[in-house]
Amino acid sequence: MFIQTEATPNPATLKFLPGQPVMPEGTFEARDPAEAERSPLAKALLQVPGVSGVFFAPDFISVTKSEGEWQHLRPAILGVITEFYLSGEPILAGEPAPIDAAGEFFDEKDSEVVDTIKELIETRVRPAVAGDGGDITFKGYRDGVVYLNMKGACSGCPSSTATLKHGIQNLFHHFLPEVRAIEQV
């Protein structure tokens, strides 16, 4: 098995591409052992000294470190990923967690604007962010402010503020002049 690695804009996060599907659908993020409980791979990765978070997307794994150098961490992480894929275990065990659409907030009168925001996120924002090892999802809209949840390499990335404030905010404002600002949840 050959696993490629790619740097991300976040120096604390590295992207691993195993060359085969990671998540059958959706994404999964764990930043501590309790969040990793459903995933044997996430639990194993979080046991590597220095690893502080994992993010699974359809075709990649992002690993975030809290300490150590990548030259020392990468071999251990590659070993865990290889061993996992050779085991044949599923990436997630047990019942899937419910999708938290109920956690979204917006006024019903803004539903047309929210639909456009969600479409822009799906078609223009998420593909670009996935290329950098992360994900962005809609959380809410209120008084001209869009609230987004950043995951994976985007979470805690030094350039995430610039991405939000300049890139995404300008995109939304171009299509939806009523959008005044973007905030990270």
- Of 63, 87, 111, the domain-final residue: 87
Residues paired with residue 53 on neighbouring β-strands, in sequence order: 64
**Strand 134-142 to strand 105-106: parallel, antiparallel, or no bridges (unpaired)?**
parallel
* CA-based radius of gyration for the chain: 17
As a whole number, the mean pLDDT across the chain is: 87
Q: Percent of the chain beyond pLDDT 70?
A: 89
Number of H helices, E strands in the chain: 6, 9
- Residue 183: phi and psi, rounded to 5, are -130, 145
For residues 62 and 118, membership in a common domain is answered with no
**Higher pLDDT, residue 170 or 48:** 48
Helix spans in 27-176 (H): 40-46, 70-87, 111-120, 126-130, 160-162, 169-175
Strand partners, 28: 56
3-state secondary structure of 95: coil
Distance CA 150, CA 134 (A): 7
Is the predicted pLDDT of residue 98 greater than 80, yes or no? Answer: no
pLDDT at residue 131 in the model? 77
Residue 61: the pLDDT is 96
* CATH number of the domain encompassing residue 58: 3.30.1370.70
Q: How confident is the model at residue 148 (pLDDT cuts 50, 70, 90)?
A: confident
Residue 94 within any structural domain of the chain: no
How many separate domains does the chain show?
A: 2
Q: What is the pLDDT of residue 124?
A: 87
| Domain boundaries, position 73 | 4-87
Same domain for 59 and 105, yes or no, is no
The answer to whether residue 102 scores a pLDDT higher than 60 is no
Residues 106 and 79 in one domain: no
Residues 137, 65, single domain; the answer is no
* Residues 76, 132 within the same domain: no
What average pLDDT does range 110-125 have in this prediction? 91
pLDDT of 48-92, one tens digit each?
999 999 999 999 999 999 999 999 999 999 999 999 999 999 999
Residue 95 maps to a domain: no
Same domain assignment for residues 40 and 107: no
Same domain, 114 and 150: yes
Q: What is the pLDDT of residues 26-55, one digit of tens each?
A: 889 999 999 999 999 999 999 999 999 999
Domain membership flag for residue 92: no
Q: What was the pLDDT predicted at 13?
A: 92
54-58, 135-139, 150-154 — which is least confidently predicted? 150-154
What is residue 160's predicted lDDT score, i.e. its pLDDT? 63
Structure tokens, 115: 């639909």
Distance CA 7, CA 1 (A): 20
Residue 48 lies in a domain: yes
Instruction: Please tell me the distance from the alpha carbon of residue 109 to that of residue 114, in angstroms, as a whole number.
Output: 10
CATH number for the domain including 167? 3.30.300.130
Say what the pTM is: 0.73
Q: Which residues of 8-29 are buried (b: 16+ CB within 10 A; e: fewer)?
A: bbbebbbbbebeeebbeeebbb
Note whether 107 and 82 are same-domain residues: no
Is the pLDDT at 170 greater than 90? The verdict is no
Residue 73 sits in the same domain as residue 131: no
Residue 72 lies in a domain: yes
Last residue of a domain, one of 39, 60, 87: 87
Q: How far is CA 109 from CA 175, 179, 184, in A?
A: 18, 15, 23
Q: Of 112, 121, 108, 109, which Cα lies nearest the Cα of 149?
A: 121
Mean local confidence (pLDDT), 129-141: 84
With a cut of 80, say whether residue 8 has pLDDT above it: yes
**Residue 76 included in any domain:** yes
Residue 96 lies in a domain: no
Residue 93 inside a domain? The answer is no
154 and 81 share one domain = no
